[in-house]
Homo-oligomer: A and B are copies of this chain.
Amino acid sequence: MHRIKQIPLFSNLSFSYIDKLQKISTVKSFNKDEILFYEGDSPIYMHILLEGSLRLYKTNSKGNQIFLHQFKPVCLVAELANFEGISYPATAQFLTKGEVLKIDYKKLENDFFKNPEISLQIIRSLTNKLKIMSDVVTNEVILTSEAKIAKFIIENSELFGKLKNTQIASILNLTPETLSRTLTKFKNMGIILESDRHKIVVINEKELLKLYT
Protein backbone atom coordinates (compact mmCIF):
# COMPACT_ATOMS: atom_id res chain seq x y z
CA MET A 1 0.00 0.00 0.00
CA HIS A 2 2.63 2.49 1.04
CA ARG A 3 4.52 1.52 -2.15
CA ILE A 4 1.69 2.43 -4.45
CA LYS A 5 1.31 5.88 -2.95
CA GLN A 6 4.95 6.55 -3.81
CA ILE A 7 4.62 5.75 -7.49
CA PRO A 8 4.36 9.04 -9.37
CA LEU A 9 1.81 7.54 -11.72
CA PHE A 10 -0.53 6.94 -8.78
CA SER A 11 0.53 9.53 -6.25
CA ASN A 12 -2.46 11.76 -6.82
CA LEU A 13 -5.09 9.08 -6.52
CA SER A 14 -7.77 8.96 -3.88
CA PHE A 15 -7.50 6.46 -1.05
CA SER A 16 -10.37 4.41 -2.36
CA TYR A 17 -8.71 4.10 -5.73
CA ILE A 18 -5.39 3.15 -4.25
CA ASP A 19 -7.17 0.57 -2.18
CA LYS A 20 -8.66 -0.85 -5.32
CA LEU A 21 -5.29 -0.90 -7.05
CA GLN A 22 -3.83 -2.62 -4.04
CA LYS A 23 -6.26 -5.49 -4.48
CA ILE A 24 -5.31 -6.20 -8.07
CA SER A 25 -1.57 -5.81 -7.73
CA THR A 26 1.40 -7.61 -6.18
CA VAL A 27 5.03 -6.77 -5.64
CA LYS A 28 7.46 -9.34 -7.00
CA SER A 29 11.21 -9.56 -6.41
CA PHE A 30 13.71 -10.60 -9.05
CA ASN A 31 17.33 -11.65 -8.91
CA LYS A 32 20.06 -10.35 -11.19
CA ASP A 33 19.74 -11.80 -14.70
CA GLU A 34 16.15 -12.91 -14.23
CA ILE A 35 13.77 -12.22 -17.09
CA LEU A 36 10.69 -10.07 -16.48
CA PHE A 37 9.21 -10.95 -19.86
CA TYR A 38 10.33 -12.30 -23.19
CA GLU A 39 9.83 -10.72 -26.59
CA GLY A 40 6.71 -12.28 -28.05
CA ASP A 41 5.04 -13.05 -24.69
CA SER A 42 1.46 -11.88 -24.30
CA PRO A 43 1.09 -9.33 -21.54
CA ILE A 44 -1.23 -10.08 -18.65
CA TYR A 45 0.14 -7.67 -16.09
CA MET A 46 1.12 -4.09 -16.30
CA HIS A 47 4.63 -3.76 -14.86
CA ILE A 48 6.02 -0.90 -12.85
CA LEU A 49 9.72 -1.08 -12.04
CA LEU A 50 10.19 -0.21 -8.37
CA GLU A 51 13.77 -1.25 -7.68
CA GLY A 52 16.79 -2.30 -9.66
CA SER A 53 17.99 -1.82 -13.15
CA LEU A 54 16.20 -3.40 -16.09
CA ARG A 55 17.70 -3.98 -19.52
CA LEU A 56 15.49 -4.04 -22.60
CA TYR A 57 16.74 -5.82 -25.71
CA LYS A 58 15.66 -7.47 -28.92
CA THR A 59 17.28 -10.52 -30.48
CA ASN A 60 18.31 -10.61 -34.13
CA SER A 61 18.47 -13.59 -36.47
CA LYS A 62 22.06 -14.39 -35.49
CA GLY A 63 20.99 -14.58 -31.85
CA ASN A 64 22.69 -11.34 -30.88
CA GLN A 65 21.00 -9.26 -28.24
CA ILE A 66 20.37 -5.75 -29.50
CA PHE A 67 20.38 -3.37 -26.54
CA LEU A 68 17.55 -0.85 -26.59
CA HIS A 69 17.42 0.78 -23.17
CA GLN A 70 18.22 0.47 -19.52
CA PHE A 71 15.33 1.42 -17.25
CA LYS A 72 15.75 2.92 -13.80
CA PRO A 73 12.95 2.99 -11.21
CA VAL A 74 10.28 4.18 -10.91
CA CYS A 75 8.73 3.71 -14.34
CA LEU A 76 6.17 1.91 -16.39
CA VAL A 77 7.63 -0.88 -18.49
CA ALA A 78 6.34 -1.80 -21.95
CA GLU A 79 2.91 -0.30 -21.36
CA LEU A 80 2.55 -0.19 -25.14
CA ALA A 81 1.90 -3.93 -25.11
CA ASN A 82 -0.83 -3.50 -22.49
CA PHE A 83 -2.50 -0.58 -24.21
CA GLU A 84 -2.46 -2.14 -27.65
CA GLY A 85 -3.03 -5.73 -26.60
CA ILE A 86 0.02 -6.82 -28.56
CA SER A 87 2.83 -9.12 -27.50
CA TYR A 88 5.94 -7.63 -25.93
CA PRO A 89 8.17 -6.17 -28.63
CA ALA A 90 11.35 -6.86 -26.64
CA THR A 91 12.78 -8.84 -23.75
CA ALA A 92 13.29 -7.33 -20.28
CA GLN A 93 16.04 -8.70 -18.06
CA PHE A 94 17.26 -7.54 -14.66
CA LEU A 95 20.83 -6.28 -14.51
CA THR A 96 20.68 -6.17 -10.71
CA LYS A 97 18.21 -7.59 -8.27
CA GLY A 98 15.01 -5.65 -8.33
CA GLU A 99 11.32 -5.34 -7.64
CA VAL A 100 8.30 -4.90 -9.83
CA LEU A 101 4.70 -3.99 -9.11
CA LYS A 102 2.49 -6.26 -11.20
CA ILE A 103 -1.00 -5.00 -11.85
CA ASP A 104 -3.74 -7.09 -13.35
CA TYR A 105 -4.23 -4.94 -16.42
CA LYS A 106 -7.60 -6.24 -17.52
CA LYS A 107 -9.13 -5.24 -14.20
CA LEU A 108 -7.47 -1.86 -14.36
CA GLU A 109 -8.18 -1.00 -17.95
CA ASN A 110 -11.81 0.04 -17.71
CA ASP A 111 -11.35 3.15 -15.67
CA PHE A 112 -7.62 3.59 -15.98
CA PHE A 113 -7.70 6.37 -18.52
CA LYS A 114 -10.54 8.32 -17.01
CA ASN A 115 -8.48 9.88 -14.27
CA PRO A 116 -6.88 13.04 -15.69
CA GLU A 117 -3.90 12.76 -13.35
CA ILE A 118 -3.16 9.27 -14.58
CA SER A 119 -3.64 10.31 -18.20
CA LEU A 120 -1.08 13.03 -17.81
CA GLN A 121 1.43 10.61 -16.31
CA ILE A 122 0.78 8.13 -19.08
CA ILE A 123 1.38 10.80 -21.68
CA ARG A 124 4.68 11.63 -19.96
CA SER A 125 5.68 8.00 -19.94
CA LEU A 126 4.74 7.44 -23.58
CA THR A 127 6.49 10.61 -24.67
CA ASN A 128 9.60 9.49 -22.87
CA LYS A 129 9.51 6.09 -24.52
CA LEU A 130 8.97 7.63 -27.91
CA LYS A 131 12.08 9.70 -27.39
CA ILE A 132 13.99 6.59 -26.37
CA MET A 133 12.90 4.78 -29.51
CA SER A 134 13.71 7.77 -31.66
CA ASP A 135 17.21 7.73 -30.18
CA VAL A 136 17.51 4.00 -30.81
CA VAL A 137 16.71 4.61 -34.46
CA THR A 138 19.26 7.41 -34.67
CA ASN A 139 21.96 5.34 -33.01
CA GLU A 140 21.33 2.06 -34.75
CA VAL A 141 20.15 3.13 -38.19
CA ILE A 142 21.62 6.54 -38.87
CA LEU A 143 25.01 6.62 -37.18
CA THR A 144 28.12 4.69 -38.17
CA SER A 145 29.97 2.81 -35.44
CA GLU A 146 32.54 5.60 -35.28
CA ALA A 147 29.78 8.19 -34.85
CA LYS A 148 28.05 6.07 -32.21
CA ILE A 149 31.23 5.82 -30.20
CA ALA A 150 31.98 9.54 -30.54
CA LYS A 151 28.47 10.34 -29.32
CA PHE A 152 28.77 7.92 -26.44
CA ILE A 153 32.03 9.48 -25.31
CA ILE A 154 30.50 12.95 -25.34
CA GLU A 155 27.34 11.90 -23.54
CA ASN A 156 28.63 9.19 -21.21
CA SER A 157 32.36 9.59 -20.84
CA GLU A 158 32.13 8.88 -17.10
CA LEU A 159 30.95 5.34 -17.86
CA PHE A 160 34.38 4.40 -19.22
CA GLY A 161 35.66 4.67 -15.66
CA LYS A 162 32.93 2.37 -14.39
CA LEU A 163 32.34 -0.25 -17.05
CA LYS A 164 34.50 -2.68 -18.98
CA ASN A 165 34.84 -2.13 -22.70
CA THR A 166 32.88 -5.32 -23.33
CA GLN A 167 29.95 -3.84 -21.43
CA ILE A 168 30.17 -0.54 -23.28
CA ALA A 169 30.39 -2.41 -26.56
CA SER A 170 27.23 -4.30 -25.74
CA ILE A 171 25.38 -1.09 -24.88
CA LEU A 172 26.48 0.27 -28.24
CA ASN A 173 25.61 -2.96 -30.05
CA LEU A 174 29.17 -3.24 -31.30
CA THR A 175 31.83 -5.91 -30.89
CA PRO A 176 34.60 -5.19 -28.37
CA GLU A 177 37.03 -5.39 -31.29
CA THR A 178 35.34 -2.54 -33.13
CA LEU A 179 35.20 -0.43 -29.98
CA SER A 180 38.86 -1.07 -29.25
CA ARG A 181 39.95 -0.25 -32.79
CA THR A 182 37.91 2.95 -32.85
CA LEU A 183 39.19 4.15 -29.48
CA THR A 184 42.75 3.51 -30.67
CA LYS A 185 41.97 5.53 -33.77
CA PHE A 186 40.64 8.43 -31.69
CA LYS A 187 43.75 8.30 -29.53
CA ASN A 188 45.97 8.40 -32.61
CA MET A 189 43.98 11.34 -33.92
CA GLY A 190 44.66 13.16 -30.67
CA ILE A 191 40.96 13.48 -29.87
CA ILE A 192 40.97 11.55 -26.62
CA LEU A 193 43.42 9.99 -24.22
CA GLU A 194 43.10 7.28 -21.65
CA SER A 195 44.06 8.16 -18.09
CA ASP A 196 44.54 5.66 -15.29
CA ARG A 197 41.74 3.31 -14.30
CA HIS A 198 40.43 3.14 -17.83
CA LYS A 199 39.05 6.67 -17.80
CA ILE A 200 38.70 8.61 -21.04
CA VAL A 201 39.71 12.26 -21.24
CA VAL A 202 38.36 14.26 -24.15
CA ILE A 203 41.04 16.51 -25.61
CA ASN A 204 39.31 17.78 -28.72
CA GLU A 205 35.58 17.91 -28.08
CA LYS A 206 34.93 19.92 -31.22
CA GLU A 207 36.40 17.22 -33.43
CA LEU A 208 34.50 14.52 -31.58
CA LEU A 209 31.20 16.36 -32.07
CA LYS A 210 31.95 16.77 -35.75
CA LEU A 211 32.09 12.99 -36.06
CA TYR A 212 28.38 12.57 -35.42
CA THR A 213 26.62 15.85 -36.13
Contacts and interface: CB of A to CB of B under 8 A. Distances in A.
Interface of A: 58-61, 66, 68, 80, 83-84, 86, 89, 113-114, 116, 119-120, 122-123, 126-127, 129-131, 133-134, 136-138, 140-144, 147
Contacts of A61: 142-144, 147
A114 B117 CA distance: 9
Majority-rule SS of A interface residues: helix
A126 B84 CA distance: 11
B130 A66 contact: no
Given A66-B141, A119-B116, A126-B126, A134 B89 contact: yes
A80 B131 contact: yes
A142 B66 contact: yes
Contacts of A126: 123, 126-127, 130
A61 B66 CA distance: 22
A41 to B, nearest CB: 15
Nearest to A66: B141
A143 B61 CA distance: 7
Given A60-B141, A60-B142, A136-B137, 13 more contacts: A61-B143, A80-B127, A80-B131, A89-B134, A89-B138, A119-B119, A119-B123, A123-B123, A126-B127, A129-B130, A130-B130, A137-B140, A140-B140
A127 B84 contact: yes
Interface centre among A83, A134, A136 (most CB of B within 10 A): A134
Contacts of A119: 113, 116, 119-120, 123
A60 B212 CA distance: 10
A194 B166 CA distance: 47
A196 to B, nearest CB: 34
A86 B134 CA distance: 12
B140 A141 contact: yes
Contacts of A116: 114, 116, 119
